């Protein structure tokens, strides 16, 4: 299985980095081919410019910096997102990556006239999300978990019909302890052993 790990956190020694490292280690130990995409390390530009937006419905973005990202999407059979939840959703860097990379003629084709979009991501059979969240579980649910819905409903809809998904979140991250973080890492490892 070919897994793309999309990692988004600006702090190199964050707990999200520990999650990323555990995830990559488990998947590789299972014999998966893993490619890591660290959006902050590569200084990904999440801003869609005027010309890119004007041509968004007509063709894939022409920015040469996006070509390696398109290739990664085409290569992946599984995608694992690792990021912090900020203001109940995705970090701007990750949202910008979705905006610019999951694009026309890359992730989907728009119909001529009315009709459904055609997915170009049916080779992706697994999507996972591992995140940290400062809010408690109950409040995240009340707010509607926008990040979870974006990835596991919106983006997953472009993947294989029977695409398997999972969502893990370490809630109350701001008051976490070494014990809660260790327990969460154990949960991550166990989940990925079965993914």
pLDDT in tens, 80-92: 999 999 999 999 9
Is there a contact between 170 and 180 (Cβ–Cβ < 8 Å)? Answer: yes
Query: Which single residue is written with the structure tokens 């302890």?
Result: 177
Q: Which of 123, 101, 99, 132 lies closest to 20 in space, CA to CA? A: 132
User: Which parts of the chain fold into alpha helices (H)?
Assistant: 15-29, 50-54, 67-75, 92-101, 137-143, 146-149, 178-194
| Residue 29: band (very low, low, confident or very high) from pLDDT cuts 50, 70, 90 | very high
Query: 34, 79 in Cβ contact below 8 A?
Result: no
Give the three-state DSSP class for 71: helix
Q: Express each pLDDT in 110-151 by its tens digit.
A: 888 888 889 999 999 999 999 999 888 888 888 888 888 999
pLDDT of residue 36: 98
Contact 111, 159 (CB under 8 A): no
pTM recorded for the entire structure: 0.94
Task: Give the pLDDT confidence score for residue 138 in this predicted structure.
Answer: 84
């Amino acid at each position: 299985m070919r897994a793309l790990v999309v990692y988004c956190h600006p702090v190199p020694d964050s707990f999200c980095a520990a999650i990323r490292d555990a995830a990559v280690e488990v998947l590789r130990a299972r014999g998966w081919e893993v490619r890591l995409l660290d959006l902050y390390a590569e200084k990904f530009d999440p801003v869609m410019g005027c010309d890119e937006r004007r041509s968004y419905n007509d063709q894939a973005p022409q920015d040469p910096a996006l070509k390696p990202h398109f290739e990664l999407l085409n290569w992946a059979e599984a995608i694992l997102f690792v990021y912090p939840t900020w203001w109940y959703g995705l970090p701007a860097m990750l949202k910008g990556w979705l905006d610019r990379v999951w694009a026309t003629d890359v992730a989907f084709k728009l119909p001529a006239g009315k009709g459904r979009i055609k997915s170009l991501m049916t080779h992706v059979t697994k999507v996972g999300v591992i995140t940290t969240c400062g809010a408690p579980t109950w409040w995240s649910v009340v707010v509607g978990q926008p990040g979870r819905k974006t990835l596991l409903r919106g983006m997953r809809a472009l993947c294989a019909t029977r695409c398997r998904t999972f969502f893990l979140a370490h809630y109350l991250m701001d008051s976490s302890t070494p014990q809660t973080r260790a327990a969460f890492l154990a949960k991550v490892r166990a989940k990925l052993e079965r993914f």
